[in-house]
Amino acid sequence: MKLIQNIEDLSLAIQKHKSQGKRIGFVPTMGALHQGHLSLVEQAAQQADCVVVSIFVNPTQFNNKSDLANYPRTIEQDLEMLGQKPCDIVFHPNVSTMYPEDEIEYLDIDLGVLDNVMEGEHRPGHFAGVALVVHRLFNMVKPDIAFLGEKDFQQLAVIRSMVRQTNDPVQIVGCPTVREADGLAMSSRNVRLTPQHRAAAPQIRKALLGILRDKNTTTVAQAQQNALAALQAEPLFRVEYLEIVDKTTLLSAQSWDQPNGLVACVALWAGDVRLIDNILL
């Protein structure tokens, strides 16, 4: 496994692999790796010949300064974990490598509804930053295929939309959410939960599973209300949103019968840690 920090070395390494006819599989991350990230690496190794993982805490996607400052950074441990996985290249650039310019110009793309609902509504500018960094990483890594988690369901939709609009020549693969034994979706932010908040956190998954149970026996609005009420009853949570939406358009669903299928998405604060999760319905 090779650790690379600058674009020139990355280009040389990628060119070498490509000249050997190898397909590049790419897993973009912000580090503080866990089994969820590692499952993407395993997927990449199954579908590509050379696996590149990037580790970069991207400042342009943080709309909250203290979230950026507090974001866990565990590069030594990350490299240790990746060393035991089928990972060929770790790209770990610094901020000036990714953003050499004085004034950052965002991509000229229209994310439409994707940028106005749920995460888009509650984290203004977040997806513009995500789209920009992923586009830049795609240009540098030149992957044939990129692996992203369904845990960040809306982000996956944003990246698909960005790739369509920029014509980045990459196939996007969404991978299932990896969970702790008690149902909590793995997240780099989980290490920041207090023991009390960590103990309460599995209720998120329970509330989402409740929606699946309610499906077809009650209305969409009622199922949403039931799940919301369950989470609001927990004094350690402050719910930002819980929505049941069309899987493709992310528009609010009025009935269970939608051709694209449905997904329920939730974001809440557990103390000063913001958690998101979702369930395909």
Question: Footprint of ligand AMP on this chain (CB under 6 A)?
Answer: 29-30, 36-37, 39-40, 148-149, 151-152, 175, 177-178, 185-188
Residue 148 is inside which H or E element, if any? strand 145-149
Concerning whether 37 is annotated as a catalytic residue, the answer is yes
Q: Which is nearer to ligand AMP, 131 or 223 (CB)?
A: 131
In whole angstroms, the minimum distance from the beta carbon of 156 to ligand AMP comes to 7
279 SS3 class? strand
With vertex at residue 149, the alpha carbon angle to CA 82 and CA 180, rounded to the nearest 5 degrees, is 75
Task: Show Cβ contacts of residue 84 under 8 Å, excluding neighbours closer than 6 positions.
Answer: none
Strand bridging mode 50-55 / 24-29 = parallel
- Here the tokens at position 245 are 């939406």
* Gap between the Cα atoms of 29 and 38, Å rounded: 10
In whole angstroms, the minimum distance from the beta carbon of 84 to ligand AMP comes to 18
Q: Which is nearer to ligand AMP, 155 or 224 (CB)?
A: 155
With vertex at residue 231, the alpha carbon angle to CA 203 and CA 126, rounded to the nearest 5 degrees, is 95
- Here the tokens at position 30 are 């912000």
- Please state the separation of Cα 214 from the chain's center in Å: 27
Q: b or e along 165-177 (b: 16 or more beta carbons within 10 Å of the residue's beta carbon)?
A: ebebebebbebeb
Given the residues 17, 37, 126, 197, the one annotated as active site: 37
**CA 263 to each of CA 19, 244, 276: distance values in angstroms, whole numbers, following the listed order:** 41, 6, 13
In whole angstroms, the minimum distance from the beta carbon of 123 to ligand AMP comes to 13
In whole angstroms, the minimum distance from the beta carbon of 36 to ligand AMP comes to 2
Q: Which is nearer to ligand AMP, 86 or 256 (CB)?
A: 86
Q: Which is nearer to ligand AMP, 48 or 223 (CB)?
A: 48
Q: Which is nearer to ligand AMP, 147 or 237 (CB)?
A: 147
In whole angstroms, the minimum distance from the beta carbon of 204 to ligand AMP comes to 12
Could you list the active site residues?
37
